[in-house]
Structure 1
Amino acid sequence: MPSLSSYKNLHKRYSYFFLIAGIIFVAFNLRPAITSVGPLIPIIRESTGMSNSMAGTLTTIPLLSFAVFSLVAPKLGLRFGNHLSIFCALLILGAGILIRSSGVITAIFIGTALVGVGIAICNVLLPGVVKFSFPKKVGLMTSLYTACMGIFASIGSGVSIPLYETFGLGWEQALGVWAVLTVLALFVWLPQIIGTKETKKPVKEDKPGFSQSIWSSSLAWQVTLFMGLQSFLFYSLITWIPDVLVELGMSLSLAGWMLFLLQLVGIPFSFAAPIIADKLNNQKPIVIAICSLYFLGFTGLIFNPNVAVITISVLFLGTAQGGAISLALTLLSLRAANARHASLLSGMAQSFGYLLAAAGPVFMGFLYDTFHTWKPFLFVLSGIAVFILWFGLKAAEDKFVLPE
């Protein structure tokens, strides 16, 4: 007969299998509820009678929710356990998607805010789950879930219009369909909250002010600014790059495909960067490679904007962005001595980071309104890449934000 140790080993394998599956399905839900909105904004605006500025806030509200609830999420993880908190966050996300798809203007904004709350909590707590459950495979697991995020971010932006036009769904149903993915994630994540030690015995803080000490760490600020500035750059790009490319002579439809390419090309590199980062003593070579691609991409758009160069530049920028976001998420685990520190660092970096991200598209729109050309946009983002390089090199040093 099989020994007791054999049963324990088999149970452990199944537990890891369900946890990995759960992380993947949670990652599937972290972007499409947001990226699916952009292509539908003109239709939503026409259907509801919203003003341009009001419709534009549909992409800003989730980022502001990220900023606020990224600070709250570590406390929820400490109080209730990361697994249970993520399950509740998925419930909030699903409820937000359904409320938003009602078509009532007030409900649209309430639902959009709830979508941001649910995603923010999952964003912050997943690095802690990875650090705790896979301490020797942080790079691989971060690669896995960031690649899943990237794939469904692209799918979210790519299928919205086909769902609306080809399948004859209204914009409400085209947005509401993502609730199905959330329900699937709830079922796959369910084993993590049944009989697990973490959720039966919630972690409590060891001493007063512990969660505040992360804010006094210079390394934590360097990680935070790396996260924030690459988010600023990314959301500025995906908001305005079609307009930039139209000014450079592209048709609107081709510029739209360039936006899709920008997100799609980064997926392989979002998978590779964490694996490479986990094998290095420090991650400075990756930071240098990412920022070199940023500089090449912006240089091509500024100085030689023909179709071939624009396409190559977009490939460079997409590759850089795919590596930047996955490296930023990996640093949240690599610069933390344990799972608790990882969650605290994740909360700090993503809160401040998404505040910067929310400001990016607005500030870049202001630049265009002021100068009536997108050239300043390209020069400013080139400057942002310099700061990403500076703070990235500091954040890549082989140290912990807090002592173990």
Structure 2
Amino acid sequence: MDQQNRNNDTRLPPLYWAIFAVLLVGLNLRPAITTLAPVIGNIEIDEGLSSAAAGFLTSIPLLAFVLLSTSAPRFGRKLGFGIAIQVSLIILICGFALRLLPTTPALFLSMAVVGVGITIGNVLLPAYIKQKYPARAGPLSAVYTASLFIGPALAAAGTIPLANFFGSWRLAIASWGLLAVAAFPIWWPHARSSRAEKIAGGDARSHSDRTWIWRNGLAWSVTLYFAVLSLLFYTISAWLPTILADFGENIEVASRMLSLVNIVAIPFTLAVALAVHKVDNHVWATTGGAVLVIVGLAGVLVGQGQHTLIWMFILGAGLGVEAGIGFSLPILRVRSSHQTAILAGMSQTVGYSVSALGPVGAGALHDFTNSWEIVLTGLIVLVSVQILFGWVAGSNRRVDDKIIGEQANET
């Protein structure tokens, strides 16, 4: 069905335009959150927030992911995936604009609004790729996943210079909304080519029974692998500069270290996202990425300011490998774009439920113990468990194999 839709849609933009559009949309799906990390200390002081409250601020978008991820596929089917993604950019622009208001409630509200916009893009962009460009899912998925690191890298490197230039952290974190403004006209041809899809055959069954995915063991392994990846990403994005600063680094240098992690992750993300579409078994990627992350975190824990560059390279490589496979699994483990949206909705609902605890939990644990060592140790334990989830999620199976088997028996 997806290939038929692709062939019948003569207005679909060419691949080179799709790559550029996916890149720009993807660049908007993380800076709205990660721009806070470099200036989180200023926010705590100016707004009178504790570390736990500041952690909650960065977790608000994750709560939006939790509440809305399972609804995003239905929203996308009603409007068409391309139009829904265009709407998400409008929502993001509004959320960034709220940051210009000089009040604490407006700052918290802005995080909720951008969370809604990011949720739609998170769930529907992979589904749009599988629906409209099934033969080019590998390259487009690689660009999409890489953009999730390019955006944070730009945000980590640029937010403090922007704050110094404007003399205001509010203007600095609001100015990243210009990325969404730039993406809006570039995505417009995809919105014009989009139309609500009629669901028939196997897809009809998967949508009429929305609970089937929640009873699937492979889907849960994909989801839990993604959950640990998300918790890692948002906890590291929120607190790594602060951790390194407490271990003796200058705060600007520490912020650049976070940027370095994201930059290093990009080529590994691209390489893995391309490679996994050429092979059937992906345990090598799920396991290899986790091992690299463990080594990087252990190096930060033991080194405490020593050989930081080495540990940042290893940590970035591990996160890149994990992201390359983690964000590809909803495409690799199902057969249609609609099921991709369902699996992405499930993995992001549960995944971000878990990851929302990361920044808040890390901040609260530090407030209670006055130690980052316990936080880093906890992350290492979680990644060790993630290896088990990845062993199942990386196996050569599809979550909809059972449904197809049941349909074959019925006929």
Structure 2 Cα separation of the partners of residues 163 and 254 of structure 1? 15
Structure 1 Cα separation of the partners of residues 191 and 297 of structure 2? 46
Structure 2 Cα separation of the partners of residues 294 and 193 of structure 1? 38
Cα-to-partner distance string for 1:155-189 (whole Å, 9 max, x where unaligned): 112211211212x2533322222232212211111
The answer to whether the Cα contact below 8 Å between 1:78 and 1:203 also exists between their aligned partners in 2 is: no
Shift of 1:297: 2.0
The answer to whether the Cα contact below 8 Å between 1:31 and 1:152 also exists between their aligned partners in 2 is: yes
Cross-structure match for 1:199? 195
Q: How does 1:169-208 map to 2 (within 5 A)?
A: 170-194=168-192, 196=193, 198-199=194-195, 201=197, 203=199, 206-207=204-205
Given the alignment, which residue of 340, 343, 352 partners 2:341?
A: 343
Of residues 387-396 and 168-177 in structure 1, the stretch that sits farther from structure 2 once superposed is: 168-177
Shift of 1:203: 4.9
The answer to whether the Cα contact below 8 Å between 1:58 and 1:112 also exists between their aligned partners in 2 is: yes
Identity %: 32
Cross-structure match for 2:365? 367
Cross-structure match for 1:210? 209
TM-score by length of 1: 0.89
Unaligned runs of 5+ in 1: 1-7
Cα-to-partner distance string for 1:226-265 (whole Å, 9 max, x where unaligned): 0001111222223333344345444444433322222221
Change in 2 beyond 3 A, CA 1:343/1:153: same
Counterpart of 2:364 in 1: which secondary structure? helix
Shift of 1:202: 5.7
Structure 2 Cα separation of the partners of residues 206 and 340 of structure 1? 10
Unaligned runs of 5+ in 2: 1-6, 405-411
Counterpart of 1:161 in 2: which secondary structure? helix
Of residues 216-225 and 239-248 in structure 1, the stretch that sits farther from structure 2 once superposed is: 239-248
Change in 2 beyond 3 A, CA 1:262/1:215: same
Change in 2 beyond 3 A, CA 1:39/1:328: same
Structure 1 Cα separation of the partners of residues 305 and 92 of structure 2? 42
Shift of 1:281: 1.7
Cross-structure match for 1:354? 352
Aligned length in residues: 393
Shift of 1:53: 4.5
Cross-structure match for 2:123? 124
Of residues 32-41 and 112-121 in structure 1, the stretch that sits farther from structure 2 once superposed is: 32-41
Aligned residue type for 1:339: S
Q: Does 1:272 align with 2:268?
A: no
Counterpart of 1:141 in 2: which secondary structure? helix
Shift of 1:138: 2.2
Cross-structure match for 2:409? none
Structure 2 Cα separation of the partners of residues 126 and 276 of structure 1? 20
Counterpart of 2:397 in 1: which secondary structure? coil
Structure 1 Cα separation of the partners of residues 12 and 255 of structure 2? 44
Counterpart of 1:398 in 2: which secondary structure? coil
Counterpart of 1:307 in 2: which secondary structure? coil
Structure 2 Cα separation of the partners of residues 278 and 356 of structure 1? 28
Structure 2 Cα separation of the partners of residues 247 and 26 of structure 1? 35
Counterpart of 2:29 in 1: which secondary structure? coil
Structure 2 Cα separation of the partners of residues 43 and 298 of structure 1? 26
Aligned residue type for 2:195: T
Structure 1 Cα separation of the partners of residues 196 and 394 of structure 2? 36
Shift of 1:89: 1.2
Shift of 1:358: 0.9
The answer to whether the Cα contact below 8 Å between 2:55 and 2:359 also exists between their aligned partners in 1 is: no
Counterpart of 2:159 in 1: which secondary structure? helix
The answer to whether the Cα contact below 8 Å between 2:290 and 2:318 also exists between their aligned partners in 1 is: yes
Aligned residue type for 2:77: L
Cross-structure match for 2:134? 135
Cross-structure match for 1:144? 143
* Aligned Cα root-mean-square deviation (Å): 2.6
Cross-structure match for 2:85? 86
The answer to whether the Cα contact below 8 Å between 2:293 and 2:383 also exists between their aligned partners in 1 is: yes
Cross-structure match for 1:328? 326
Aligned residue type for 1:225: L
Cross-structure match for 2:312? 314
Shift of 1:65: 1.0
Change in 2 beyond 3 A, CA 1:301/1:49: closer
Q: How does 1:372-391 map to 2 (within 5 A)?
A: 372-391=370-389
Shift of 1:348: 0.5
Change in 2 beyond 3 A, CA 1:98/1:372: closer
Structure 2 Cα separation of the partners of residues 20 and 362 of structure 1? 35
